[in-house]
Amino acid sequence: MVNRRFTLLIFAGLYLAGFCSDAHANVFERRQNGNLVEISQPAWRTDASPVVAGRQGSKAEPVSHASESQNAVRQHIQIAATRFGVDRNLVDAVAWQESRYNPRALSTAGAMGVMQLMPGTARQLGVQNPHDVEQNVIGGTAYLRQQLERFGNNVPLALAAYNAGPGAVIKYGGIPPYRETQNYVRQIIQRLSATSAYRAGY
């Protein structure tokens, strides 16, 4: 436990100090009318209209509806985290970073749902409907567990593998030199660093 905590703190320090710009994940939500709405910023905002195909679109979902949706997602996160023995705060932080808990999220690369599963990864994990919140969260948590086991419970490396693929982490012998991946790891570690329950668990 001490070594893992020490490793996490070192990586947190490096990424908090070394990278200051926000990652741009290009994640979208497909609305019923077929429009793609960028949700790379926190979803369900009420202070501004999202951009739809280069123009201002309709307002985001009401806060009350958003809260209900997020609570439902977090319930599935709690269940999946317990099932796979992954810290709930870690799964929650990944879900937030990937999609802002949005089950309709769709990236430009084709990743889908709350945990942004690629189609091939979803199939390998037995996820039949990536836009189903329960299936998506279970699949994403199972994949995160695989990466933690693969990289000796080293959280930053597991996160890098979740984002860029385990092959890239192995190839570079650590977090790949991809700005998006480096920002991704930094931002999740930063989010976790504010969670005392997570620090106690790792």
pLDDT category of residue 60 using cuts at 50, 70 and 90: very low
Contact 167, 161 (CB under 8 A): no
Instruction: Give the active site residues.
Output: 98
Q: Taking the C-alpha atoms of 125, 165, 25 and 6 in order, what is their torsion angle to the nearest 10 degrees?
A: 110
Residue predicted with more confidence, 114 or 7: 114
Q: Which helix (H) or strand (E) holds 172?
A: helix 166-172
**Poorest-pLDDT segment among 15-19, 23-27, 86-90:** 15-19
| Lookup result for tokens 């836009």 | 131
Percent of the chain with pLDDT over 90: 61
Q: Looking at the predicted structure, is the pLDDT value of residue 48 above 80?
A: no
Residue predicted with more confidence, 200 or 177: 177
Class of the CATH-defined domain 2-201: mainly alpha
Task: Read off the pTM.
Answer: 0.69
Report the alpha-carbon distance of residue 138 to residue 160 in Å, rounded: 19
Average pLDDT over the chain, rounded to whole?
76
Per-residue burial over 28-56, b if 16 or more Cβ lie within 10 Å, else e, is bbeeeeeebbbbbeebbbeeeebebeeee
Q: Which two tokens stand for residue 170?
A: 């192995």
- Amino acid 68: pLDDT: 64
